């Protein structure tokens, strides 16, 4: 029987939570303040602590900070009636498993409690078995078969994966301009990639059916939950083979420096955990083509690997750029594609701003181009713009929910073309 400590200075909250958790077969302890909580934790060594942030004398964040170095530390769920993404990010940096707002639903609370207890048990098992949790190689089957598979062969099965611990990042939304944050949390096998916010129990899956818009970025929406600018994070999850993850955010994924490099660092810092289950890759057996009269086109055809070839054609000073990327795992993505940044023309900024877009575009989070040159930075690659388009495609293709085997060739395309190709793949192959 797992032990849960409820820490809150409101007696009615403690009583309510005790009743709910006891009915689930858990042993429930209580503490009315931070000092009492630290004493109970030292004596009883609970598996889980449900901890209010706002308490007199020692607040919840101070308690959490003192627990941070304990081994083995209990899992901690922070609760607050005045939640915001900044507080959630701070709590997660201090080691909290999750952060939920009052009032919370019974079902939502129990889901978080069960995930926290499962995660705590998994961490303890890994620690006892001295199994390293920071392996960041690509899924083993993808490496073993790369270059050796026939496009007509049976689909390979990829191991299900999540991250080893919760991670956080903060920044600004590229299109909203709002300061925002990001919390990544492990999920059990079969969960998929899910986006949510602090203020709801609803989630929107990272799946093609929930794409809401593709204007300058990919946006998902379901049941009141909106996740904007998801492509750079999804590209990173695709590259590292992460199949199960909860992403908590505030409407828009932070743009960071305009690339996926920081997301790579987050995943590598968290560690990648193999979960035992597996999912089947999607194998392309015939060419599927989307084209337009203006020369835009994107297609996928049978191949032994997953790869993307992109041809970018812009007026001076960009010109024509081409790059071909063959995915050989996380390292190839991290070195070749992830550092490539979002770019835009100064002449377009006023138009985007009038549309409510690119309000977060700053000198340090995108490449700005005037009529003659790049004006705010040095390029990381001579063909950085083409590589960034590949980054976007790699993120969008993960909205099929599974790894893909086939070669994508694109010319002058954007997010709407990427999503059109995915929908045609889904229709042609009868995917559910």
Instruction: Assign residue 344 the CATH number of its domain.
Output: 3.30.1700.10
Token couple for 194: 């899910």
Instruction: Clarify whether residues 330 and 387 are in a common domain.
Output: yes
User: Confidence class of residue 304 from pLDDT cuts 50, 70 and 90?
Assistant: very high
In a domain, 217, yes or no: yes
Instruction: Clarify whether residues 265 and 297 are in a common domain.
Output: no
Which residues participate in catalysis according to the annotation? 415
Domain boundary among 224, 252, 280: 280
Q: Which range has the worst mean pLDDT, 27-36, 127-136, 169-178, 257-266?
A: 127-136
Q: Using alpha carbons, select from 174, 231, 225 the residue that is nearest to residue 199.
A: 225
* Bond before 111 cis per omega within 30 degrees: no
At 36-63, the pLDDT tens digits run 999 999 999 999 999 998 888 888 889 9
Q: What is the pTM for the complete model shown?
A: 0.78
Residue 40, classed as helix, strand or coil, is: helix
Specify the number of domains making up the chain. Answer: 3
Alpha-carbon span 195 to 183, nearest angstrom: 10
> Which H or E run includes 112?
helix 106-128
pLDDT at 137 over 80: no
Instruction: Clarify whether residues 57 and 40 are in a common domain.
Output: yes
Q: Which range has the worst mean pLDDT, 67-76, 205-214, 329-338?
A: 67-76
Instruction: Clarify whether residues 262 and 356 are in a common domain.
Output: no
Instruction: Clarify whether residues 88 and 123 are in a common domain.
Output: yes
Percentage with pLDDT > 90 across the chain:
58
Phi, psi torsion values for 288, nearest 5 degrees = -125, 125
Instruction: Clarify whether residues 287 and 273 are in a common domain.
Output: no
> Which H or E run includes 89?
helix 85-93
Phi, psi torsion values for 351, nearest 5 degrees = -65, -45
For 112, the domain range is: 3-128
The Cα-based distances of 396 to 152, 231, 273 in angstroms read: 24, 6, 23
Cβ count near 18 (within 10 Å): 16
Instruction: Clarify whether residues 216 and 314 are in a common domain.
Output: no
Phi, psi torsion values for 181, nearest 5 degrees = -140, 175
Per the model's pLDDT, the better-predicted residue between 119 and 212 turns out to be 212
At 79-100, the pLDDT tens digits run 987 667 778 888 888 889 988 8
Cβ count near 268 (within 10 Å): 17
Domain boundary among 231, 252, 280: 280
In a domain, 139, yes or no: no
Domain boundary among 280, 301, 325: 280
At 256-282, the pLDDT tens digits run 999 999 999 999 999 999 998 899 999
Token couple for 180: 């925002």
Contacts of 344 (CB under 8 A, 6+ apart): 352, 358, 361, 366, 367, 368, 369
Q: Which range has the worst mean pLDDT, 4-13, 173-182, 196-205, 261-270?
A: 173-182
Instruction: Clarify whether residues 166 and 73 are in a common domain.
Output: no
In a domain, 135, yes or no: no
Do the beta carbons of residue 409 and residue 284 sit within 8 Å? no
* Bond before 326 cis per omega within 30 degrees: no
Instruction: Clarify whether residues 287 and 406 are in a common domain.
Output: yes
Instruction: Clarify whether residues 214 and 194 are in a common domain.
Output: yes
Which stretches of 355-429 are DSSP H helices? Answer: 384-397, 415-429
User: Confidence class of residue 8 from pLDDT cuts 50, 70 and 90?
Assistant: very high
- Mean pLDDT, the chain, rounded, equals 87
pLDDT at 144: 36
pLDDT at 141 over 50: no
Instruction: Clarify whether residues 238 and 288 are in a common domain.
Output: no
Specify the CATH number for the domain of residue 194: 3.30.230.20
Specify the CATH number for the domain of residue 76: 3.40.50.2300
User: Confidence class of residue 239 from pLDDT cuts 50, 70 and 90?
Assistant: very high
pLDDT at 354 over 70: no
Instruction: Clarify whether residues 346 and 372 are in a common domain.
Output: yes
């Amino acid at each position: 029987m797992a032990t849960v400590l409820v820490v809150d200075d409101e007696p009615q909250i403690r009583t309510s939570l005790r009743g709910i958790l006891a009915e689930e077969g858990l042993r429930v302890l209580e503490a009315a303040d931070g000092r009492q909580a630290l004493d109970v934790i030292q004596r009883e060594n609970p598996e889980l602590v449900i901890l209010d942030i706002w308490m007199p004398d020692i607040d919840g964040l101070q308690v959490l900070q003192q627990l941070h170095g304990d081994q083995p530390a209990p899992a901690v769920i922070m609760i607050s009636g005045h939640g915001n993404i900044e507080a959630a990010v701070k709590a997660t940096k201090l080691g909290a498993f999750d952060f939920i707002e009052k009032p919370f639903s019974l079902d939502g609370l129990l889901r978080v409690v069960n995930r926290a207890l499962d995660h705590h048990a998994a961490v303890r098992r890994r620690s006892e078995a001295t199994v390293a949790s920071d392996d960041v190689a690509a899924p083993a089957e993808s490496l073993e078969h790369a270059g050796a598979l026939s496009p007509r062969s049976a689909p390979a099965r990829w191991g299900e994966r999540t991250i080893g611990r919760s991670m956080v990042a903060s920044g600004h939304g590229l299109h909203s301009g709002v300061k925002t944050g990001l919390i990544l949390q492990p999920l059990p096998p079969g969960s998929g990639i899910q986006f949510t916010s602090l203020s709801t129990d609803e989630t929107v899956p990272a799946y093609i059916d929930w794409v809401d818009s593709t204007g300058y970025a990919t946006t998902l929406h379901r049941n009141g939950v909106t996740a904007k600018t998801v492509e750079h994070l999804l590209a990173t999850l695709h590259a590292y083979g992460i199949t199960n993850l909860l992403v908590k955010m505030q409407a828009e994924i932070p743009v960071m420096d305009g690339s996926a490099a920081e997301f790579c660092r987050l995943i590598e810092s968290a560690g990648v955990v193999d979960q035992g289950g597996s999912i089947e890759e999607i194998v392309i057996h015939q060419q599927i083509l989307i084209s337009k009269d203006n020369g835009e086109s994107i297609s996928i055809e049978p191949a032994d690997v997953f790869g993307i070839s992109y041809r970018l054609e812009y007026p001076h000073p960009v010109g024509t750029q081409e790059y071909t990327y063959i995915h050989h795992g996380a390292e190839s993505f991290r070195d070749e594609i992830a550092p490539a940044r979002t770019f835009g023309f100064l002449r377009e900024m006023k138009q985007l701003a009038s549309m409510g877009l690119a309000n977060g575009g700053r000198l340090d989070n995108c490449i700005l181009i005037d009529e003659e040159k790049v004006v705010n930075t040095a390029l990381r690659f001579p063909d950085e713009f083409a590589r960034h388009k590949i980054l976007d495609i790699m993120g969008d293709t993960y909205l099929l929910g599974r790894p893909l085997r086939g070669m994508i060739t694109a010319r002058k395309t954007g997010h709407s073309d990427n999503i059109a190709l995915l929908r045609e793949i889904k229709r042609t192959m009868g995917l559910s």
